[in-house]
Amino acid sequence: MKIKLHLLCIPLVFLMIFTGQIAYYAIILSSLLWHEAGHLLTAMLCGVKVKSCVITPYGGEIEFENPAVVPATSLLWIALGGPIATILGIGLAFFMPELLATKLINVQLVLLAINVLPIIPLDGGRIFLACFFLFYPSVRALEYYYWLSLIIAFILFLITLCYLPQSIFLAILCLFIWLQVLKEWNYRKYRLAFEKYVMNRLT
């Protein structure tokens, strides 16, 4: 399994150095790694082989070695693994020194709030898709869901622009998420064809 760092993380590091918040970014990066470890551990427990993991500013993107054979229940548990790890991390932070604990809890809460948003490619969106596979296998509904994800991500980005410069990190993060959703949208025909195949196999 390969673990990579997304290229956008590099300019964010320089941004934190420029603003004198390198220690804050170290907390963010460690929180991201902890969050992603939850996904990877859950995948291992579900017996799913992971090909690669890319650490992004909002969490990570996991590529399975053979996604067509991953059961919907495993997809659901793997998607839940990250948020569960983050919640555990918040609990552990209460046993740390107060100064570190406060910053760590704040970062974890922000990451958790972002990740549970029900849009692709966030954990909330993947949980939503896994539930689709289990309870309502409709390709047409999934296409509408991609549209909705694109709109919500763009609205979130516009909201963060209203609070600049204080929201610079969140603005960059939301822009990155919107670009990721846009990429998913551009490849939606291939994604939907694959998801239709998975749905036919599950039903």
* Residue 19 pLDDT: 60
* Residue 22 pLDDT: 66
Compute the distance between CA of residue 164 and CA of residue 185 in angstroms, rounded to an integer: 28
* Residue 31 pLDDT: 85
Global pTM?
Answer: 0.77
* Residue 80 pLDDT: 93
* Residue 203 pLDDT: 47
* In the chain, where the domains are located: 2-202
* Residue 29 pLDDT: 78
* Residue 33 pLDDT: 85
**In the 3-class helix/strand/coil scheme, how is the chain assigned residue by residue?**
CEEEECCCHHHHHHHHHHCCCHHHHHHHHHHHHHHHHHHHHHHHHCCCCEEEEEEECCEEEEEECCHHHCCHHHHHHHHHHHHHHHHHHHHHHCCCCHHHHHHHHHHHHHHHHHHCCCCCCCHHHHHHHHHHHHHCCCHHHHHHHHHHHHHHHHHHHHHHHCCCCCCHHHHHHHHHHHHHHHHHHHCHHHHHHHHHHHHHHHC
Mean pLDDT of successive 10-residue segments in the chain (203 residues)?
Answer: 61 61 74 88 90 74 77 87 92 85 87 86 85 71 79 88 79 80 71 59 49
* Residue 86 pLDDT: 92
